Amino acid sequence: MNNQTDSSRQPPPALSARDRERGQKRFRLFMMMNTIPVACLLENVIILYAIRNRLSDPLVAIMASFLHLTMPFIVLGKRLVARLGLARTWGLCWAVRYMFAASVIFAPFFSESFVPWLVPFILMAGYLGLMVFRSIGTVATQPLVGEITTDRDRGRFISHYAMLTAIIYLVAMVGIIWALRRWDRMGTYHLIIAIGCVVGFVSAYVLTTIPESAGPRQSARQPIRKSLRKVFKHKPYANLLVAWCAGFISFAVIIPFAIMAVKNGYGTSDYEALTYSALILVGSIIAAFVNGVIADHVGPRPLVILYFAGFFAVCLIWAFAPATLIPLLVGTSFFVAGFCKQGLIVGLGHYFLSLVSQDDRVGVGLFTRMFSGAAAGLAGAVVGAGLLRVLPLMALSDLDVYRLYFRIIAVLLIPLLMSLWKLPRLKEWSIRNVLGLFLSPRDLRAMIALNRVRGTENYSDDLNHVQRLSDIASNVSESAVLEYLQSAHLSIRSRALRALARQDYLSPQARDALRAELWNGEFTTAWIAAETLGEKRIKEAVPDLRAALDSDDFFLKGKAMQALVQLKDQASFDRIVAEFEATDNPRLVIYGAHAMGLMGNPAHIPVLLKKAVTAALPAPVCDEVLSAAAGLVGQGETMYRLLKQWRTDREGLLSLLMEMVPRLGRIEHWDTILQADSEAQQLEAFNAFCESNRRSDITLCRTDIASFALQARRNGVLEKIFLCCCLLLLSKPASPASDDFLQIL
């Protein structure tokens, strides 16, 4: 019976999908509850509580360093995991740490006793115990998240609970600030700490109910010497360790001392100090959001370097702080500090997971966190506290002490920044491009849209997402757009191609995809690819576009004609003209006319006019042909205005024509042409017009113009041809294109 009971308590080899779902719900509940004691007990509140209990600045600095100084105790957590498992180890450590936290409530009661040294002793011992067991318990954090998630939902789960906890933390901090402003006395601190401890005990119980497999216990039994040796002998891991130490040192020697500077340097109240410290949280929330949007695209290394560099701005603000407090300036320093701190934590973690292999993550991660925490703790306790003990001996004012402190720290940050440059490069953007991204709202919008794209599987969502990416038209979304080209639905592929067409630049991968679409998308989307290749001047696509001239897809064939001319493929020009002359397909006629217009050769004018009067073309198609012909002698805009007037107000056409082309001569000829009842009368009027406008240096072959006119057979077409011919004949003599045309006639 006992053996059966013990066996039933053993964790399973692997968690089922149902166990993982249950574990995620409980873990999310734990993290939401755990946020309240974090707000009530850690860092800002406990520092202000220590200052209220008259602890000296060096002792407060040492207390602030406990968060990092106690990280070596994480090794003890590995041993507990081997015996108790992840959840029970974490829950046990959390329960013990809240016992230590509760003890600091009793410190003020010894302030009037005969042993006043007990006040700082109780405060520091209680806070030290809290931090020691925090460090022991955190060994289970990442492994437990890995237990209850999979590769498909891990990122979404982490982002979701991180956002929830950030919001709850902000609400809790607002409540604490309000309470301290309304009841600014020691009892308020006692109540805040008590609430944090009670909620912490409940959250520790919830934590112990999270399911896990037997894998973490087996992993924890492995020796750690091999991992320690690998950290120091493998250069990329060694550089990673140094970078982690540099990052944690940066905010350990800046943020707590900025709080002390605003409190002691400017003499602000606890309420004001907490208000400024809340801006650290606001910066952290925004940094978490920004990282979630861009980190997977730009890579973690450039972000880590930029976030670390941001601490220089914070140091400079305090190094040259004005004598009078400027709320906007001080608030900005706290916001930037919070933004950079969260960015460094997330960025270093992201870089760690990208660099370290899965087999090495547990051991390398343990020593990375342990050494970086110890380095940050020593920096705060030795460097920070030591400077605050020495600098007042220089007879400086309170604010001058902190000014000089931050000037020294700014200098010390320079070699730490250099250590970050030594991190091995991964697949990443350049720092300059990342900075440009922050200055480009369009690219940021594109990245936000890309994060929404992830995980969509149905048609309507994909259609909406690709349309959104097309509307934003940013190059950062190119990879996602290319994936949509694999869609089985025409509308999604066509919108993806339109999105590529709107980009400022096409990568080699995008160019290859467009060329492939010419072959794979016949009768569907190939014509859009041909159009884009021409507009983007992708010269390597010329062979593919030449082959498209043999396609039975009229859309593709027509767009290929136009694209080849845009690419200045002279070898294809004769083939394009021949295709135009031979076809009676309206679509090919339009694209062929556009292509010949782009060629810019006036010798093609008779070909265009012949097509206008010989083919059975719809009137709008004929308009395109005539516009192309007029464009070859620089009269394209004039022809556009005349045709527009033709459609809207024929009565004002003559006056507009006289205004635009003053050399038309006697208006009665045009009036006769437009009002003639028969083709014979039109031809007679047209001949009279040509005779009256004969040039002395060039003989006009009116019979050629007449032959075009006599072949027109539908209402409205003949008059438009007259319009075009007049523009051609009466273009400025200085125009070489006009003279060439007249010689052709």
Residue 689 has pLDDT above 90, yes or no: no
Does pLDDT of 165 surpass 50? Answer: yes
Cα–chain center distance at 242: 28
C-alpha span between 133 and 31 (Å, rounded): 17
Would you place residue 745 in the very low, low, confident or very high pLDDT band (cuts 50, 70, 90)? very low
The CA distances from residue 65 to 70, 244, 250, 384, in Å, are: 9, 16, 12, 9
| Residues 6 or more apart in contact with residue 82 via CB below 8 angstroms | 217, 220, 221
- The H or E element containing residue 624 is helix 619-631
Query: What whole-number distance in Å separates Cα of residue 264 and Cα of residue 269?
Result: 9
Q: How far is CA 110 from the centre of its chain?
A: 55
pLDDT reported for residue 592: 94
Decide if pLDDT at 4 tops 70.
no
Q: Which residues lie below 8 Å from residue 616, measured CB to CB, with a gap of 6+?
A: 584
Mean pLDDT for the chain?
A: 78
d(CA 11, CA 387): 51
3-state DSSP assignment of residue 694: coil
Residue 533 has pLDDT above 90, yes or no: yes
Helices and strands (DSSP H and E) totals, the chain = 40, 0
Q: Which amino acid is at 198?
A: V
CA torsion sign, 465 to 468 to 472 to 473?
positive
User: pLDDT grade, residue 133 (50/70/90)?
Assistant: very high
Q: What is the pTM of this model?
A: 0.63
Compute the C-alpha angle 109/113/114, nearest 5°: 155
**What local confidence, expressed as pLDDT, does residue 6 receive?**
41
Length of the chain: 745
pLDDT at 652: 63
pLDDT at 467: 75
pLDDT at 33: 92
Name the least confident of 174-188, 382-396, 683-697. 683-697
Which tens digit of pLDDT belongs to each residue from 368-408?
877 887 788 788 878 888 888 888 888 777 788 889 999 99
Higher-confidence residue of 137 and 614: namely 137
Q: What is the 3-state secondary structure (H, E, C) of 86-101?
A: HHHHHHHHHHHHHHHH
> Residue 647's closest CA among 712, 585, 719?
719
Over residues 508-536, mean pLDDT: 92
Band the pLDDT of 710: cuts 50, 70, 90: very low
Residue 400 buriedness (CB in 10 A; 0-12 / 13-18 / 19+): middle
CA neighbor of 471 nearest in space, from 504, 502, 450: 502
pLDDT of res. 580: 93
Amino acid at 647: R
Burial 33-58 (b: 16+ CB within 10 A, else e): bbbbbbbbbbbbbbbbbbbbbebebb
Say if residues 159 and 292 touch (Cβ distance below 8 Å).
Answer: yes
> Residue 177's pLDDT band (boundaries 50, 70, 90)?
confident
Does residue 738 surpass a pLDDT of 50? no
How far is residue 67's CA from residue 725's CA, in Å, rounded to a whole number? Answer: 87
What percent of the chain stands above pLDDT 90?
18
700 contacts 694 by C-beta, under 8 angstroms: yes
Mean pLDDT computed over 1-15: 57
- pLDDT reported for residue 1: 40
Q: 375-389, 457-471, 683-697: which has the highest mean pLDDT?
A: 375-389
Position 620, amino acid: P
pLDDT at residue 599, as a whole number: 93
Report CA-CA distances (Å) from 239 to 362, 415, 428: 17, 14, 18
Dist. CA 259–CA 281, nearest whole Å: 13
pLDDT confidence band for 437 (50 / 70 / 90)? confident
Percent of the chain with pLDDT over 70: 78
> What's the CA gap between 594 and 282, in Å, rounded?
57
Examine the pLDDT at 432 and tell me if it is beyond 90: no
In this prediction, residue 548 carries a pLDDT of 93
Lowest-pLDDT range of 85-94, 137-146, 298-307: 137-146
Which has the minimum average pLDDT: 180-189, 406-415, 464-473, 510-519? 464-473
> Which tops the pLDDT comparison, 706 or 534?
534
Q: Radius of gyration (Cα) for the chain, nearest Å?
A: 39
Asked whether the predicted pLDDT for residue 565 surpasses 80, the reply is yes
Over residues 510-521, mean pLDDT: 91
pLDDT of residue 740: 43
Greater confidence, 682 or 2? 682
User: What is each CA distance from 255 to 61, 142, 277, 466, in whole angstroms?
Assistant: 11, 25, 9, 43
Arithmetic mean of pLDDT, 438-445:
74
Q: Are 100 and 210 in contact (CB under 8 A)?
A: no
Residue-wise pLDDT for 81-90, tens only, equals: 888 888 899 9
Lowest mean pLDDT among 142-151, 181-190, 698-707: 698-707
User: With bands split at pLDDT 50, 70 and 90, how would you rate the model's confidence at 696?
Assistant: very low
> Mean pLDDT across the stretch 599-612?
84
CA dihedral 534, 535, 540, 542 (to 10 degrees): 10
Average pLDDT over residues 27-44: 86
Cβ distance 554 to 584 under 8 Å?
no
